[in-house]
Copies of this chain bind each other. A is one copy, B any other.
Amino acid sequence: MTSALRVTEIGEFGLIHRLTASLFHNAATAPIGVGDDAAVLEYNEGEQMVATTDALVEGVHFLCATTSFFDLGYKSVAVSMSDVAAMGAVPRHVLITLCIPNDAIVEDLEQLYRGIDAICRKYDAVVVGGDVARADQLVINVTVLGAVKRGRALLRSGARSGDLVFVTGALGGSAAGLHLLEHDGSVVVMPDERQRLLTMHLLPQPQVQAGQLLAASQLCTSCNDVSDGLASELTEICEASKCSIVVDRERIPIDSHVRNYAARCKCDPVEWALFGGEDYQLVGSVDRMGAGRLDAQMQASGIPFHWIGHVDAPTADGPAVWLSERGARRKLTAHGYNHFRVQGDSGLQSNENRSDQASRDGWRC
């Protein structure tokens, strides 16, 4: 047995070399990648590029005790790729900043990069640069650049009254996986159910193909990715589009494993869908006249696609998201994870109790 290699034993440059030596690369789109001051990237004429950046912070977004480094690397890129997908763009290039404690173990960081490499290979994206710095806690910042056909980017601002509201897959699964991590041992779960719930939380998939189809269709009037929960994402669309949205509670898609698990631990899976976040499905609006056509396109491509509500004119007090259930409506307010929560801020105007909020605040996106 050899003892674990510490970062201090190989130095910053040794670390970078080890982390990047076997990365996927693509000389056609990145003639100059890792190894110079900056990356030189090819973008065809007729395209626009998109760029987004997101950080995951140890103790805030994740705990090393409940995620593997591979999964953490995968997810750190998935989070930013999901933003690119929500624009209808194709992810192309990735830049990684790692802030790491002095006692970090090289093998852990290599595993992290294997996760980064895995998702990059899956979506044909190339890591083209990065930075490594010392810090007290692990921070992974990911910038993703992508391309979309000129004028086709999916924005939040185009939803119009009468449009139908869609989501590309089941929601609430990430929150269920988080609940399981937080209550492990206290709830009975089957091994396959456990695996499925944890995968939904730890290894989310950016909806890149769905985003591209939505952009190509020219029928999608608004789009957002579910990072903070359905209520928060729809609120962003309502504010950008100056509209209201009515969601039919019964139509929100919930995975059967999530529904079963929620029943056993006496939780409401719809609350997870509305406020849990990190499902990284796409949600948005579509011109009602083209909805059938788009539905058929999605079916043909094997992409789950669910109609969950419609767009309305804003109410007297402005844009709002309403949850409709058996004829009654409840107003929702954005209530995703907030890094600096204002005291007394509640996601539900009806003041539902969220007893798990305190523990979540410690380490959620």
- A-side residues, CB < 8 A to B, are 7-15, 31-32, 35-43, 45, 48-57, 59-61, 83-84, 86-87, 89, 93, 95-97, 99, 102, 128-137, 139, 141, 143-146, 148, 153, 155-157, 223-225, 240, 338-343, 345
Given contacts A57-B133, A141-B141, A145-B51, contact A40 B340 (CB under 8 A): no
Judge whether A52 and B35 touch: CB under 8 Å: no
Judge whether A38 and B131 touch: CB under 8 Å: no
Judge whether A38 and B51 touch: CB under 8 Å: yes
How many angstroms from the CA of A12 to the CA of B145 in the assembled complex?
24
Judge whether B341 and A8 touch: CB under 8 Å: yes
How many angstroms from the CA of A148 to the CA of B144 in the assembled complex?
20
Judge whether A340 and B8 touch: CB under 8 Å: yes
Of chain B, the residue at the smallest CB distance from A7 is B340
- Tell me the minimal C-beta distance from A254 to chain B in angstroms: 24
Judge whether B32 and A40 touch: CB under 8 Å: no
Cβ contacts under 8 Å, A148 to chain B: 40
Can you list 10 A-B pairs with a CB-CB distance of less than 8 A? A8-B340, A31-B48, A38-B84, A52-B129, A53-B131, A55-B139, A57-B135, A95-B143, A133-B339, A136-B137
Partner of A50, one of B39, B240, B340: B39
Given contacts A41-B50, A50-B38, contact A55 B11 (CB under 8 A): no
Partner of A99, one of B55, B84, B86: B55
Q: Which of A45, A49, A155 has the most CB of B within 10 A?
A: A49
Judge whether A12 and B339 touch: CB under 8 Å: yes
Judge whether A155 and B95 touch: CB under 8 Å: no
- Tell me the minimal C-beta distance from A235 to chain B in angstroms: 10
How many angstroms from the CA of A155 to the CA of B39 in the assembled complex?
10
- Tell me the minimal C-beta distance from A168 to chain B in angstroms: 14
Judge whether A338 and B153 touch: CB under 8 Å: no
Cβ contacts under 8 Å, A345 to chain B: 11
Judge whether B13 and A240 touch: CB under 8 Å: no
Given contacts A10-B340, A40-B48, A99-B139, 15 further A-B contacts (CB under 8 A): A8-B340, A11-B340, A12-B338, A12-B341, A14-B342, A36-B157, A37-B223, A38-B87, A41-B48, A51-B143, A52-B95, A54-B131, A95-B143, A135-B137, A143-B143
